[in-house]
Chains A and B, each alone.
Chain A
């Protein structure tokens, strides 16, 4: 079958299964990479009316709390050399962004890979790395801890968030699980989540295939995890990465934008001497709690509203003038919706 026929086959099958199901169901995807493909190819618009596909908190920059962001920016403002992934640079803090501090003081460095931080460390021995990301990216931070680089960690774990979302305001019937988080944690990490789930790859066909499998599981009441990305995901995951995570991080309660403090959902640096939150506690205790703004990122991340329903979207909040993390990050729902014309 050629690509077009395969896609039509999936859509046809999804329609049949949706008819069998009859009632409205909601499936949630929690991976910024998947959000991007779904919006780019208009996948939501071709699903049957009773299948609602919503975006969840799949963007690690977006789910970092405003307070943590303000803390990170304050360290930079105090002339401490900072290394960060690029999409953190323009996230608005309560007063400035890291990009503003970079322009003012020049001590903020954008990196693609944590290996670059080691080079920076030669010049700036007290450099601090902002560890943002889910389980896919946290192992790259362990590399820095092994090399005695200080870290401010806001790394977060996906399965605990999935469980909390199931208890939330939106009734979720199934999940499309993140692709590369699953590469690290393995499919077995999701076994306690009591709805059907599918892991998919990153093409329109793979996502449609994943949705097809997922709605069938929902129809059949099969609470299982199907691995639709077997070339990159195994049942056990990457054991070496998992060992490094356990060696260098403790699992702690963590604040997620929009979801509040979730128990055992974050990773904290074990070694006190490499934990920037401890080393610079005297600076960070002066950071005030952020004020409430009209930004609705929190509700967007929970799947309560779509970006188009936020009063600031496109009117005030645009990629050039972002009001919140969801518009800044490449994987943010608002940035993605804006990119594809919603």
Chain B
């Protein structure tokens, strides 16, 4: 139940979107999100989109976390 699946929006019809996740096409309800566009990536849980996957800012933050871990590793080895 906790699992959520990322998918790409192919079509939008009112509060339903047709999405593609890894080649499987499915209709999901998008009433929990706003301003979605075709081509957006979303996270699906129990048939509803719960978050827009912001790939760019996620990549940047993940890079920051990597650097943070690298720095802290240097700290421990210098200590």
Interfacial chain A residues near B58, Cβ < 8 Å: 230-232
Expressed in whole angstroms, the minimum distance between the Cβ of A36 and any Cβ of chain B is 8
Classify chain A: how many residues form its interface, as a range. Answer: 35 or more
Expressed in whole angstroms, the minimum distance between the Cβ of B35 and any Cβ of chain A is 11
**CA gap between A61 and B2 in the complex, in Å:** 11
Chain B contact residues: helix, strand, loop or mixed: mixed
Contact residue among A9, A133, A183 (Cβ-Cβ distance under 8 Å from B51): A183
- A85 is an interface residue with CB less than 8 A from chain B: yes
**CA gap between A180 and B5 in the complex, in Å:** 11
Contact residue among B2, B34, B43, B69 (Cβ-Cβ distance under 8 Å from A13): B69
Pair A13/B76 contact, Cβ less than 8 Å: yes
B59 nearest in chain A by CB position: A231
Contact residue among A112, A212, A213, A228 (Cβ-Cβ distance under 8 Å from B46): A112
B27 nearest in chain A by CB position: A115
Within 8 A of B (CB), among A220-267: 227-228, 230-234, 238, 240-241, 244
Expressed in whole angstroms, the minimum distance between the Cβ of B34 and any Cβ of chain A is 6
Interface string of B36-79 (1 = CB under 8 A from A): 00000001011110110111011001100100010011001101
- B24 is an interface residue with CB less than 8 A from chain A: no
Contact residue among A9, A232, A238, A331 (Cβ-Cβ distance under 8 Å from B1): A331
Pair A136/B45 contact, Cβ less than 8 Å: yes
**CA gap between A114 and B53 in the complex, in Å:** 23
- A60 is an interface residue with CB less than 8 A from chain B: yes
Interfacial chain A residues near B12, Cβ < 8 Å: none
**CA gap between A58 and B1 in the complex, in Å:** 11
Contact residue among A34, A143, A238, A244 (Cβ-Cβ distance under 8 Å from B29): A143
- If A136-B45, A212-B69 touch, whether A240 touches B34 (CB-CB below 8 Å) is yes
Chain A contact residues: helix, strand, loop or mixed: helix
Pair A139/B62 contact, Cβ less than 8 Å: no
- A191 is an interface residue with CB less than 8 A from chain B: no
Interface centre among B3, B4, B32, B55 (most CB of A within 10 A): B32
Pair B47/A232 contact, Cβ less than 8 Å: no
- A303 is an interface residue with CB less than 8 A from chain B: no
- B33 is an interface residue with CB less than 8 A from chain A: yes
Pair B2/A178 contact, Cβ less than 8 Å: yes
Pair A180/B76 contact, Cβ less than 8 Å: no
- A268 is an interface residue with CB less than 8 A from chain B: no
**CA gap between A137 and B79 in the complex, in Å:** 46
10 contacting pairs across A/B (C-beta < 8 A): A13-B73, A58-B2, A113-B47, A115-B48, A136-B50, A140-B45, A143-B29, A183-B43, A230-B65, A238-B33
Give me the interface of A with B, judged by CB distance under 8 Å.
Answer: 9, 13, 16-17, 20, 31-34, 58, 60-61, 85, 87, 112-116, 133, 136-137, 139-140, 143, 178-181, 183-184, 202, 209, 212-213, 216, 227-228, 230-234, 238, 240-241, 244, 329-331
Give me the interface of B with A, judged by CB distance under 8 Å.
Answer: 1-4, 28-29, 31-34, 43, 45-48, 50-51, 53-55, 57-58, 61-62, 65, 69, 72-73, 76-77, 79
